Amino acid sequence: MSVKLSQPWLNELSKPLGFGLALFVIAFIAYVPGFMNAFLIGSILSDRRPVLRKYDRLPDVCVLVACYNESENIADTLTSLARQDYPGSVEVVVIDDGSTDDSLAIARAMSVQLARPGLRIRVLAQPKNGGKSKALNRGLAETRQALVVTVDGDSYLRADALRKLVERFLSDPPGTVAVAGAVLVRNSRENWLTRSQEWDYFHGIAAVKRMQSMYHGTLVAQGAFSLYTRASLEGVGGWPECVGEDIVVSWALLETGARIGYCEEACLFTKVPTKVGQFARQRQRWSRGLMEAFARHGRLLVKPRMTTLFIWWNLLFLPLDLVYTFAFIPGIVLAFFGYYWIAGIMTLLVLPLAALWNIVIFRVQSRMFKSQDLRVRRNISGFVFYTLAYTMILQPVCVMGYAAELLRLRKTWGTK
């Protein structure tokens, strides 16, 4: 129906651009995003994953906290870990990656203050800043537990987050070697950018991870909060030295035929960038990480399994972002001057699908929040910006990330 409805649009746009280029532009403005949204809605409504089982006793775990210049946050992160209701032994290992502030001293003081039976906190100091991969690999080498959890040093976990993450791992199908937790925004009240990111994490990122887990392959067990089996990590050589270490290690695990799950009930709250420059550098890093994953594990494109669809899905992000940046945004500007070649009345036909997508995801996520005794905050201004203008910043930034990777520009963490 979308193709049929777009025929007048295609004919009109073919006049200035030619048929081939016009078809390419319309395909990545309308057809591909429409398919993605419809597929996402259908999948989420069909979610029948195994029930999260409860356990009186859970296996010992180690929690690796890579920390760099987190003097404002590391005490809160460790406090939240000390308050976990986990029915098993927990070893928290903070790896300070050459911080130039008081992070190391604060972590050491908190490790003594928070120690209790069943919880051990150790602090390791890297001699100089070597990157997150080196820090995590050192923590992996100096621990022995079969289950390894990673947590960022600017995060705060709900008291049941660690327990539910492990319970999801034990409840999931055989072959599961990692489970991504739910990462939500902690500092959403700061400004318009953090308010819109709250919806991105709550709506977009969470929904995609949930959908991918249904097909046995969440593509990113994010470093901010994920569980891995030690055997699987050691089998792929630990975290690779690159800017997108979490997506690259996730794809390495998928390439072995393993399954990666997702636990929306295990909630961690993290601080997101508050400035456009910080946000741009973070999302450029994510885009570069995606390209690193394709460069190292592109064989997944031809691996016969359910998750292969989402590898191709991610491959479409580059043309999607390019068309949005260099065609759709200019098309909106042209529309203000009366030229409706790219954006016009036909563009409004995508709004019902977008509204349906938002309603479905909101209801599903709201039910999850209610089951956790959480309340969805009234954040109308952030939602309006997220639905109408967020991608106008996000997708050009992603294009900059692709260009930086292709040009082999220097890689840094870049959000401090």
Residue 169: pLDDT band with limits 50, 70, 90? very high
Strands 147-152 and 225-229: antiparallel
Do 52 and 168 contact (CB within 8 A), yes or no? yes
* Residue 68 confidence (pLDDT): 95
pLDDT at position 359 over 80 = yes
Residue 246: pLDDT band with limits 50, 70, 90? very high
Residue 205: pLDDT band with limits 50, 70, 90? very high
Q: What CA–CA distance (Å, rounded) separates 44 from 40? A: 6
* Residue 408 confidence (pLDDT): 84
Describe the chain by its helix, strand, coil percentages, rounded to 5.
55, 15, 30
* Residue 350 confidence (pLDDT): 67
* Residue 48 confidence (pLDDT): 85
Q: What pTM was estimated for this model as a whole?
A: 0.93
Question: What does the pLDDT average to over 123-145?
Answer: 95
Q: What CA–CA distance (Å, rounded) separates 151 from 156? A: 9
Q: What CA–CA distance (Å, rounded) separates 416 from 129? A: 13
* Residue 346 confidence (pLDDT): 66
Query: Starting from the edge strand earliest in sequence, which strands make up the sheet with 90-96, in order?
Result: 119-125, 90-96, 61-67, 147-152, 225-229, 176-185, 259-270, 155-157
Of 82, 149, 93, the C-alpha closest to 118 is 82
Strands 176-185 and 225-229: antiparallel
> Which residue shows structure tokens 């025929």?
7
* Residue 12 confidence (pLDDT): 85
Of 402, 394, 128, 92, the C-alpha closest to 244 is 402
Query: Of all helices (H) and strands (E), which one includes residue 225?
Result: strand 225-229
pLDDT at position 344 over 80 = no
Report residue 348 as tokens: 């409004």
Q: Would you call 338 helix, strand, or coil by DSSP?
A: coil
Residue 163: pLDDT band with limits 50, 70, 90? very high
Tell me, rounded to whole angstroms, the distance of Cα 76 from its chain centroid.
Answer: 22
Q: What is the CATH number of domain 61-272?
A: 3.90.550.10
* Residue 414 confidence (pLDDT): 52
> Which residue shows structure tokens 């996000």?
394
Q: Would you call 183 helix, strand, or coil by DSSP?
A: strand
Provide the percentage of residues in the chain whose pLDDT is more than 90.
Answer: 73
pLDDT at position 88 over 70 = yes
Question: What does the pLDDT average to over 96-118?
Answer: 95
Report residue 309 as tokens: 């669809």
Q: Which tens digit of pLDDT belongs to each residue from 294-334?
A: 999 999 999 999 999 999 999 999 999 999 999 999 988 88
Q: Where are the domains of the chain?
A: 2-45+307-406, 61-272
* Residue 357 confidence (pLDDT): 80
| Residue of higher predicted confidence among 273 and 350 | 273
| Residue of higher predicted confidence among 204 and 293 | 293
* Residue 412 confidence (pLDDT): 66
Do 228 and 237 contact (CB within 8 A), yes or no? no
Q: What are phi and psi of 92, to 5 degrees?
A: -100, 125
Report residue 130 as tokens: 């070597």
Mean of per-residue pLDDT scores for the chain: 92
* Residue 373 confidence (pLDDT): 86
- Cβ count within 10 A of residue 51: 7
Q: What one-character-per-residue DSSP string does 233-258 give? A: HHHTTSS-SSTTHHHHHHHHHHHTT-
Burial class (CB in 10 A: 0-12, 13-18, 19+), 215: middle
Question: What does the pLDDT average to over 223-252?
Answer: 96
* Residue 356 confidence (pLDDT): 81
Number of H helices, E strands in the chain: 19, 8
Question: What does the pLDDT average to over 232-255?
Answer: 96
* Residue 358 confidence (pLDDT): 82
pLDDT at position 349 over 80 = no
| Residue of higher predicted confidence among 354 and 15 | 15
Q: Which tens digit of pLDDT belongs to each residue from 259-272?
A: 999 999 999 999 99
Q: What one-character-per-residue DSSP string does 247-294 give? A: HHHHHHHHHTT-EEEEEEEEEEEEPPP-SHHHHHHHHHHHHHHHHHHH
